Structure 1
Amino acid sequence: MTSSLITVHRSFFAEDEIKKSRFIAMIAPCETERQALNALRQLAAQHPQAHHLAFAWRIRESGGFIQERCHDAGEPSGTAGRPILAPLEGENLINVVCTVIRYFGGTKLGTGGLTRAYGGTAKQVISLAEKHPWVEMVDLQLELAYPQLQFLEYQLAQCQGQIIDQAFAETVNVTMRLPASAVSAIKAQFSR
């Protein structure tokens, strides 16, 4: 199943107007619930006059469990959050938060109309987003001799990994983030 998981690497926006209500959708990457909540806070601060800020997220936790959450933001139950979550599930998107902001235009849409508006706007932003295969990334710490550091940097570049911290003493203590599939090869090459 993990090979078919998809994610996004940056935020995308879409907008629609339905019966004078303005719907603004955003999809953004997030690896943790905290990151998702921060994205929601920033969006709420950018749209303080919005009437509703409905959202859904899917986040893969360690161990492979996918946490899903959705919120109707004051709309009738099941008319906003769930219609946003459904296309995320359908596209097998993970580590993303999708939000639809509504500025009420004065005309009530009814439960069916709300469901179509929130779901349709979410689908619109998902279709615009550049989607990428999801790769499980892990952090790894190694102790290296100084001459090994340049070769490690080269190996990490080959597997889309990166050094996130390093401490220099008699040896170099390196913390890196790399695809889980590359860990055993890196350990085999650089273990002391």
Structure 2
Amino acid sequence: MYLIEKGSESSFTVNHSRFIGYALPCADEPQLRSRLFEIASAHPTAHHLAFAYRIKTDNGVIAHFSDAGEPSGTAGKPILAHISGFDVVNALVAVVRYFGGIKLGAGGLVRAYGGTAKLALEKASLIPYVEYAELELTIEYPNLQPLTYQVEKAGGEIVSRVFGEKIDVVVRLPAAEAPAIARRFNGTST
């Protein structure tokens, strides 16, 4: 799976209709609504704003699309097909259409919306998706420096430290690295 590190914009014209595509990172549904509002505000005279998104949650991947008034399955569905094909999560791809006066037919709409979505995804900067986990550890003082080194080496970070007789530490790191760190420092993952 991949994430969009840096969003992109692309445009495509067919039979005088202009299609503008956006591929944007989107972590959750409130951010999704905000991004759609921004796009709609930037294009108040557009005829359609079709979109699709895939968001990874604790319960799996949520995917949805909207044809935005175009015939059923001709706008949002081909956009979602490209998001899935690129295996992107936590992403919104939206395509704005300015109608050019010539009807494109169902096949033409599918190609135009899908093609614009593909262009936007190709221009976006994609990075591998990494699942993160948090570990809660209680360690002796001499283990703080080795823990810090191991966590940073694994691509993680120390979220909090509480100093007492021992140190209670919460670390966030790639989930694949969590079991080894937990075993080495006698913690549990959450």
Match of 2:48 among 28, 49, 52: 52
2-structure distance, mates of 1:14, 1:36 = 19
Count of residue pairs brought into register by the alignment: 186
For structure 1, the residue ranges without an aligned partner over 5 or more in a row are none
Q: How does 1:13-92 map to 2 (within 5 A)?
A: 13-63=9-59, 65-92=60-87
1-structure distance, mates of 2:18, 2:142 = 59
Structure 2 counterpart SS, 1:9: strand
Contact 1:79–1:118 (8 Å) recurs in 2: yes
Amino acid at match of 1:80: A
Normalising by structure 2, report the TM-score. Answer: 0.82
For structure 2, the residue ranges without an aligned partner over 5 or more in a row are none
Contact 1:166–1:172 (8 Å) recurs in 2: no
Amino acid at match of 1:88: I
Identity over the aligned pairs, expressed in percent? 43
Normalising by structure 1, report the TM-score. Answer: 0.81
CA RMSD in angstroms, aligned pairs only: 2.5
Q: How does 1:1-192 map to 2 (within 5 A)?
A: 5-63=1-59, 65-144=60-139, 148-163=143-158, 165-166=159-160, 168-170=162-164, 173-191=168-186
Amino acid at match of 1:53: L
1-structure distance, mates of 2:6, 2:169 = 27
Which of structures 1 and 2 has the bigger CA Rg? 2
Structure 1 counterpart SS, 2:30: helix
- Say if 1:166 and 1:15 are closer, same or farther in 2 by CA, change over 3 A: same
